[in-house]
Amino acid sequence: MKSVLPVLWCCIGISAAAQSPLTIEQLWSLGRVSAEAISADRKHLIYSVAYTDMKAGRTERNLYSVPLEGGAAVQLTTTEGTESNVVVTPSGKMGYLYNGHFWEADWDGKNARQITSGEGNIIAWKFSPDGKYVAFAREVKVDQTWQDRYPDLTDAKAYIADDLMYRHWDKWEDGRYNHVFIASYYQGELTDIRDIMAGEPYECPQRPFGSAEDFIFTADAAAIIYVCKKKTGKQYAVSTNTSLYYYEIAKQKTIELTPNLMGYDVAPAISPNGLWLAWLSMARDGYESDKNNIIIRDLYGKGQWNITRNWDETIESFRWGSDNKKIYFIAPRYGTLQLFEISLPASLDGFAPTSFRQVTSGRHDIVSMLDQVGDYMVAVKTDMNRAAEAVRIHLPTGTILPITHVNDAAYAQIKPSRIDEVWIKTTDNKKMLTYVIYPPDFDASKKYPALLYCQGGPQSPITQFYSFRWNFQLMAAHGYVVIAPSRRGMPGFGVAWNEQISGDWGGQAMQDYLSAVDSIVKWPFIDAKRVGAIGASFGGYSVYFLAGIHQGRFKTFIAHNGVFNLKSMYNSTEEIWFTNHDLGGPWWNTPPPPSYETSDPMKHVNNWNTPMLLTAGQRDYRIPYVQSLEAFQVLQIKGIKSRLIVFPDEGHWILKPHNSILWQREFYRWLEETL
C-alpha cells in the first residue's frame, strides 16, 4: 500500500496541471444533454445532445443510445436539424419528431421513415396506451387578422390590437394557437384526424413554457386530458387559472375537470393502474409563484385529495412510481433540487402526510425525472461545475450512478471552482444561505474582486443549476469571487420565506443582498473596493434598486432586462397578473399601492453615481426593453459611465449563439474596464 499512494497523487497532480480555467468558447462547446425515452426493451436510454456550430451560428441536436447499466454510447441520427420527443411506437420501434413531422426508426436509428405528411409543424406527439390513437399538437389559424381582411396590402407591416393580451413573452398575437389533435393510428397510417379544440381561441400546450406534458391519454384510451386557460383578452392577461379538461373521444365531448380550482393546474399524470389522476395545482388565481401542490383525483369516483398540503415548500415536478404505491417529486431544498418520495396508503381519505422521505442528498440539482426502471429512477443532474448529464438514482438508497458521459472529456481539461455554503445573519435576525464560488486557482493570500449575483424570478431559487450564460464557473474562471445569496423570495426555505417578497421588492430582499455583501467583503481575500452587482430580470431590477441605496459598496453594475420604472412596467408588460400580484395592482388606484413608493428604483436615481452596463432583448414583452432605455437615459444625462446593448432579435433571454457570445464578451469587457 505504501507504494500505491505516491503514484496515485502523482497522477492527480498531472491531471490538475493539465486543467485550465473555463473559457467562453469552452462553455459553448459543451454538449447539452436531454433525456428523451427508455427503449422498448427497457435496457437503453435514448437521449439527445445539442452542439453549437459557432461558425454557422446554429445548434444541432441528435439522438443517442446508451445502456442504462453502463456501456458505450451510439449516435442514432446525423441529419441536419433537431430530433426530439422520442416515444415507443405501437410496433415497438422508436418514434420521434424531426422538422415538424413524426418519424419512425429501428432502435439503432436505421430504416427511418417519415410517418406524417402535409403541413407538419407538430410540436408534441403521444400514443394512446392501446396504440389505436395518436394525440399531437400543432399551431393552427383561428382568428382573422388584417392580412385576411386586406389581402391586397402585401407590403404593409402592422400589428392591430383591440384587446389584451396582444403579445406574450416574445411573440405578437397573430391569430394562431397551439391545438391538440387526435387521429386513429394503424401501421403507420393516420386517419380520422380531428382538432379537439377546433375553432377555440385557446392554447394547449400553453405558451411559452407548455410542452408534451400538457396533454395525456387516459389508461383505457377513452379520453384525452389536457391543460388549457380558456380565457381571452383582459381576462387572460390578469388570470393564471388554467384548468384540466376531459375530452371523451367517442362522444367528442369536453368537460372541465377542475372548475373550482383557481390557480395553475398543470402536468396531469395517470397512475399505472389507470384509476387515478394526479397533477400540480396552485390555489390562488393571479399568483404565478404560488405553492405547487400535488392533487390526486379518483377518475371513476368522487374523491380528490391534496397530498402535499402539509409540505412547507413548492413542488417542481412529480411522477408516479411504477407500483402505484408511491409518488416521486422534485423540490427545492436549501439551495439544491432533490428527489423526494411519498408512500400512498390503500385509502387516501384524510391522507395528508407530515413527513416526506428525501431520496437524494448532496450538492447537486436533480433537474428532471424521465422514467422508473426497476429500483432506479432515470433522471437528469447538474451542479455549478457540471452541465446536465443523465443518471440513475437507486430509489431505496439514493445512490446516484452516471449514465451519460457527454462532457467528461471536456471537464477533464477544465479546473472546477470551489463552492462554499455560508449562512449569513440578516437584518431581521434570520439565517440566509449564500453560495460563494471561488476562482479555480484560488489563493487565500491574494485579494480578489467580487460579484454579487442577483437572481431573477423574483421567486426562482438559486440552486446547483448550470447556466450557459449566467455561469458561475465562468465568472470565477475570470478571477472573480461570486456571492450568490438565497435572499427572501426564493423557494427551498419554506413557504413564508418564499412569499415574503410579494409587495416588498425593495424591502427585505434588498437588505438581504446588502447583508451578504457586508459580511463577505470582510474576508481577508476579498478586495472590498472592487465589488460589483449583476443580475437579469428581477436581478436586473435588483441592480437598479441597489444602485440607489448601496452607499458606495459597489464599484460597477450590470443589469439585463431589469424593471426600472414600476409605473411604465405596469403600463407595458403583457402578463398583468404578475404586476397585479407583486406590485399590488395599478399605480393609479386611490390610494396607490405602497410598492410604487417603496420599491420603485426611479425614486432613488438621484443617488446613482456608479458605472452600469445595460443589456436587453428588443422582443422581450414581459419586461419591455424600454425599461433599459429609460435607465440608460438617466445614466447618460447624469454623466455616469454607462453602456447599452440591445439585441433586436432576442426576447427575455439571449439565446442565439453569436448573440450569446457577444453578450459574454461585452459582460467581461465591462468588468475589466470598471472593476
The 3-class secondary structure across 80-104, one letter per residue, is CCEEEEEEECCCCCEEEEECCEEEE
Quick: pLDDT tens for 4-33. Answer: 323 323 333 334 557 999 999 999 999 999
Please tell me the predicted confidence (pLDDT) of residue 14.
38
Residue 52 lies in a domain: no
DSSP count for the chain of H helices, then E strands = 14, 38
Decide if 168 is inside a domain.
Answer: no
Whether residue 653 lies inside any domain: the answer is yes
| Side chain identity, residue 115 | I
- Alpha carbon 62 to chain centroid, angstroms: 22
Cα–Cα dist 479/438, whole Å: 8
Segments in the chain below pLDDT 50: 1-15
Write down the pLDDT at residue 6: 30
Active site residue 652: yes
Residue 452 lies in a domain: yes
| Residue 560: active-site member | no
**337 located within any domain:** no
CATH of residue 440's domain is: 3.40.50.1820
pLDDT value of residue 302: 83
Amino acid (1-letter code) at residue 422: V
Task: For Cα atoms 154, 160, 162, give the angle at the middle one, nearest 5 degrees.
Answer: 150
For the record, the C-alpha cell of 331 comes out as 423540490
List 289, 642, 652, 660, catalytic entry: 652
Model pLDDT, residue 1: 31
Decide: helix, strand or coil at residue 637.
helix
pTM reported for the whole predicted model: 0.95
Q: Distance between CA atoms of 665 and 659, rounded to whole angstroms?
A: 10
Facing residues of 431 across strands?
425
Q: Which of 214, 620, 628, 642 is catalytic?
A: 620
Instruction: Tell me whether residue 582 is one of the annotated catalytic residues.
Output: no
What is the enclosing helix (H) or strand (E) of 147? helix 146-149
> Containing domain of residue 556, as a range?
417-674
Q: Which of 601, 573, 572, 599 is nearest to 584 (CA)?
A: 599
Average pLDDT, the chain: 95
H/E element holding 370? strand 365-373
> 537, 595, 642, 660: which one is catalytic?
537
pLDDT on residue 559? 98
Kindly give, in sequence order, each residue whose CB lies less than 8 Å from that of residue 178, ignoring residues fewer than 6 positions away.
123, 137, 138, 139, 140, 203, 204, 205, 206, 207, 210
616 forms beta bridges with 646
Nearest of 390, 555, 365 to residue 460 by alpha carbon: 365
Q: Give the pLDDT confidence score for residue 17 in this predicted structure.
A: 53
Residue 534 lies in a domain: yes
Asked if residue 285 is part of any domain, the answer here is no
Q: What is the pLDDT of residue 3?
A: 31
Contact at 8 Å (CB) between 432 and 424?
yes
Look at residues 485, 539, 492, 494 and name the one whose alpha carbon lies nearest to residue 514: 485
Q: Is residue 218 part of a domain?
A: no
- Spatial separation of the C-alpha atoms in residues 430 and 500, rounded to whole Å: 13
Give the integer Cα–Cα distance in Å for 285 and 675.
44
Name the domain count of the chain: 1
